[in-house]
Amino acid sequence: MPVGDGRFFMSAATKFYLLRVRSLRRETADTVSVAFDVPEALQYLFQFKPGQYLSLRTEIDGVDQRRSYSICSAPAEQELRVAVKKVAGGVFSTFVNERLQEGDELLVMPPQGRFTTDLSAANEHLYVAFAAGSGITPVISILKSVLLEEPKSRFLLFFGNRGFDHIIFRETLEALKNRYPDRLAVHHVLSRESVGADWFYGRLDADKCRAYARLLFRPEEVDAYFLCGPEDMIFDIQPALEALGADPKRVHFELFTTAGMPKRETTASAQKESFDASVTVIQDGTQFDFQLPSDGSTLLDAAMRAGADLPFSCKGGVCSTCKARVLEGEVAMDLNYGLEPDEVEAGYVLMCQSHPKSAKVVVSFDA
Ligand SMILES: Cc1cc2nc3c(=O)[nH]c(=O)nc-3n(C[C@H](O)[C@H](O)[C@H](O)COP(=O)(O)OP(=O)(O)OC[C@H]3O[C@@H](n4cnc5c(N)ncnc54)[C@H](O)[C@@H]3O)c2cc1C
Ligand code: FES
């Protein structure tokens, strides 16, 4: 069942598995959601936490392509479903929206990601989310899970879109509001249609966030924030929340793309030059040795060229699928949008962004 080309080990959780598309549902004119059949034998691997994502892989026009998509279902719904919004000129999202059919098979990696929170029926929490466009996908999974699993918790969603027709999961959100009127509030913020109130017209940004914190919630009562949308929205609202007193550890965000984003701190500054290094990669207790040439290759690319089959998806430093730990030597990352400061501190790196800074490097996917 697992698919790899047998060149090198991959642990069960970072292998791709061929899953059949059980159903396709058109959510808006440019978004389709995709549910997968998960065979009984793989159920344990595809358990997920709300807010996690899947890496999908398939050949499109003769080229092997991989992209990540957040799961939009809640674990309690017993369904594995992602939603894909078509990006203009986008290879994978256009393929899913226009060519994928029910009954087709895609390669799918088991769920990953830290854009989540631990839920408990005893919690009496207030969660506040800011989502825009397809950024609703992981947020609706968390929102549904909170409503289903924490009977005393409340959820407040600010959801930005161009207009009503672009709102993904609009009917689902309406139905949830009707079912949980005292626990769920949804405020739509539209950039091209007026709803008659200035605070709900335009883009979600720091000014609106501050206004909502005056009018609609009290920051000191919020247990966790979830932000998912374009990077300018995230990096505008995140500092605004922190200025309002939010503990940074309680402000979770998920980035879908990397263009123009401020990067998280890394242990070493990005350095393009690199040099010959002898590299050992460990996974599932197996060791793979190769020589990395001084051509500026990342550890991931050089290892793949040398015959390894390592986990990766975005290759942009965002998804963390390629996360490994440096056991020996030094490594510098070009970009890091995926690892938390404590992970960097503990020696984790993104292989797709890493270059050796010492003659010998040992990295492990097992540690
Ligand atoms: C952890 C994670 C979770 C994600 N979850 C979702 C999800 O639930 N739903 C979803 O639709 N997408 C999601 N994405 C984004 C998705 O992985 C792809 O990046 C997106 O579908 C574009 O891929 P593509 O092949 O169509 O475009 P590409 O062919 O890769 O890119 C084409 C052009 O579009 C630009 N572009 C790429 N992505 C975007 C974007 N999101 N918005 C605007 N321009 C873009 C590129 O810069 C490029 O110029 C997620 C990404 C990550 C890392
Ligand atoms: S492959 Fe996404 S961070 Fe490296």
* Residue 40 CB-density burial (10 A; 0-12 exposed, 13-18 middle, 19+ buried): exposed
Q: What is the pLDDT of residue 148?
A: 98
Of the chain, the percentage scoring pLDDT greater than 70 comes to: 92
pLDDT of 191-209, one tens digit each?
Answer: 999 878 889 999 999 999 9
DSSP label at residue 322: T
pLDDT of 49-63, one tens digit each?
Answer: 999 999 999 999 999
Residue having the nearest C-alpha atom to atom 37 of ligand 1: 257
From 352, 354, 365, mutation site for ligand 2 pocket: most ligand atoms within 8 A of C-beta: 352
- Is any ligand 2 atom within 6 A of the Cβ of residue 356? no
Ligand nearest to C-alpha 31 = 1
Residue 264 has pLDDT above 60, yes or no: no
Ligand nearest to C-alpha 87 = 1
Distance 282 CA to ligand 1 centre (A): 30
Residue 268 has pLDDT above 70, yes or no: no
| Residue 136 dihedral angles phi and psi, to the nearest 5° | -70, -20
Token pair for 93: 């999202």
| Residue 12 dihedral angles phi and psi, to the nearest 5° | -55, -35
From 65, 114, 315, 339, mutation site for ligand 2 pocket: most ligand atoms within 8 A of C-beta: 315
Q: Give Cβ neighbours of residue 19 (< 8 Å, ≥ 6 apart).
A: 36, 37, 38, 42, 80, 105, 106, 107, 108
**Segment 332-346 mean pLDDT:** 91
pLDDT of 83-139, one tens digit each?
Answer: 999 999 999 999 999 999 999 999 999 999 999 999 999 999 999 999 999 999 999
- Is any ligand 1 atom within 6 A of the Cβ of residue 259? yes
Instruction: Indicate which atom in ligand 1 lies nearest the CA of residue 71.
Output: 8
Q: What is the pLDDT of residue 274?
A: 59
Instruction: Indicate which atom in ligand 2 lies nearest the CA of residue 353.
Output: 4
Contact (Cβ atoms closer than 8 angstroms) between residue 112 and residue 127: no
Q: Which one is predicted more confidently, 278 or 196? A: 278
- Is any ligand 1 atom within 6 A of the Cβ of residue 69? yes
Parse the chain into domains and list their residue ranges: 2-111, 126-254, 277-364
| Residue 45 dihedral angles phi and psi, to the nearest 5° | -75, -25
**Segment 20-46 mean pLDDT:** 97
Token pair for 333: 């990352």
pTM: 0.91
Q: Measured between alpha carbons, how far is 49 from 228 in angstroms, rounded to an integer? A: 16
- Is any ligand 2 atom within 6 A of the Cβ of residue 317? yes
- Is any ligand 1 atom within 6 A of the Cβ of residue 260? no
- List strand residue ranges (DSSP E) for 71-122, in order: 80-85, 105-112
- List strand residue ranges (DSSP E) for 11-143, in order: 16-28, 31-37, 53-60, 63-70, 80-85, 105-112, 126-132
Ligand nearest to C-alpha 230 = 1
Instruction: Indicate which atom in ligand 1 lies nearest the CA of residue 31.
Output: 11
Of the pLDDT bands very low, low, confident and very high (cuts 50, 70, 90), residue 340 is confident
Residue 226 has pLDDT above 80, yes or no: yes
- Is any ligand 2 atom within 6 A of the Cβ of residue 299? no
Lowest-confidence range among 3-12, 117-126, 323-332? 3-12
Domain boundaries 126-254, CATH class: alpha beta
Q: What is the pLDDT of residue 196?
A: 80
- Is any ligand 2 atom within 6 A of the Cβ of residue 137? no
- Is any ligand 1 atom within 6 A of the Cβ of residue 241? no
| Residue 98 dihedral angles phi and psi, to the nearest 5° | -115, -25
Second-level CATH architecture of 277-364:
Roll (3.10)
Instruction: Indicate which atom in ligand 2 lies nearest the CA of residue 318.
Output: 3
Distance 111 CA to ligand 2 centre (A): 14
2-111: CATH homologous superfamily? Translation factors (2.40.30.10)
Residue 265 has pLDDT above 50, yes or no: no
Residue having the nearest C-alpha atom to atom 33 of ligand 1: 90
List C-alpha distances in Å: 138 to 170, 259, 267, 273: 15, 20, 29, 37
Q: What is the pLDDT of residue 259?
A: 61
Contact (Cβ atoms closer than 8 angstroms) between residue 9 and residue 284: yes
Of the pLDDT bands very low, low, confident and very high (cuts 50, 70, 90), residue 267 is very low
Of the pLDDT bands very low, low, confident and very high (cuts 50, 70, 90), residue 10 is low
Mean pLDDT, the chain, whole residue set: 91
Ligand nearest to C-alpha 61 = 1
Distance 345 CA to ligand 2 centre (A): 18
